[in-house]
Amino acid sequence: MAYTRYMMSMHDDQAGEGVALAFPTVSTCAAVIAVLGDRLVGLHKTSGISRNYGKLMQRGLSLLGGHYVRALYMAGWNLDQPSKHDPRAIRQVLGCAHAPIYISNLSSTRDSLERTTYSPHPFATAANDVCIFAYHQGSRAPRIGLKRSSKVTVKRSVGGTQQINQLAQQLGMGFALIYGVEEEITTTSDHLHELQFYRLE
């Protein structure tokens, strides 16, 4: 049975906050999830250093607003390759050097620099295009998992489109594009392939 909900949704190089986050079409990207006392702050970071990387990190810092970050979770591909995604550098840029880092590296090989960061792929056959979901659970670790993108339909709400247009007018299109907005997300079921995380440090 199809399951539809509205939640903060972040596409490539976008950031947002809420108690339920979605990161659609993660193929070479990483979902960066900062856990605060009352919410999550998420960044959908593309591989390497994109032209929007600095703006994305500035937006992340703004959303964190100096609040204490309990932990930083990162899920995606190539989290063991600093040229693609560098968890320690991301933590430093976000100003939360005290926060422990938890990794779920979906790379399809075990060639990682630190084998403990490798997370077995949740599907029997490889799927390199997934939607990652994260849910705040109070003082407990967040619930983070994924579904194949083919089983997820994302529809931008009219309000979300208006919000993006207003931001584009206020800040210039390049900057406005880093803002995630609430979108209607429909999945084929409410089942979630929960990810296994390893503490990096």
Query: Read out DSSP for 41-83?
Result: EEEEEPSS--TTHHHHHHHHHHHHTTPPP-EEEEEES-TT-TT
Higher pLDDT, 147 or 128: 147
At position 48, the amino acid (one-letter code) is G
d(CA 28, CA 32): 13
Q: Which of 2, 28, 13 is nearest to 108 (CA)?
A: 28
In tens, the pLDDT along 52-110 reads 888 999 999 999 999 999 999 999 888 877 788 999 999 999 999 999 999 998 864 44
Please, which residues have CB within 8 angstroms of residue 24's CB and are 6 or more apart in sequence? 9, 10, 11, 131, 149, 152, 154, 185
Q: Given a cut of 90, is residue 133 above it in pLDDT?
A: yes
Q: Given a cut of 90, is residue 174 above it in pLDDT?
A: no
Q: Given a cut of 60, is residue 127 above it in pLDDT?
A: no
Please, which residues have CB within 8 angstroms of residue 94's CB and are 6 or more apart in sequence? 32, 34, 57, 60, 61, 64, 69, 72
Which residues is 155 bridged to in the sheet? 184
Higher pLDDT, 184 or 48: 184
pLDDT band at 167 (very low <50, low <70, confident <90, very high): low
pLDDT band at 201 (very low <50, low <70, confident <90, very high): confident
pLDDT band at 116 (very low <50, low <70, confident <90, very high): very low
In tens, the pLDDT along 6-48 reads 999 999 999 999 999 999 999 889 999 999 999 999 999 998 8
Please, which residues have CB within 8 angstroms of residue 172's CB and are 6 or more apart in sequence? none
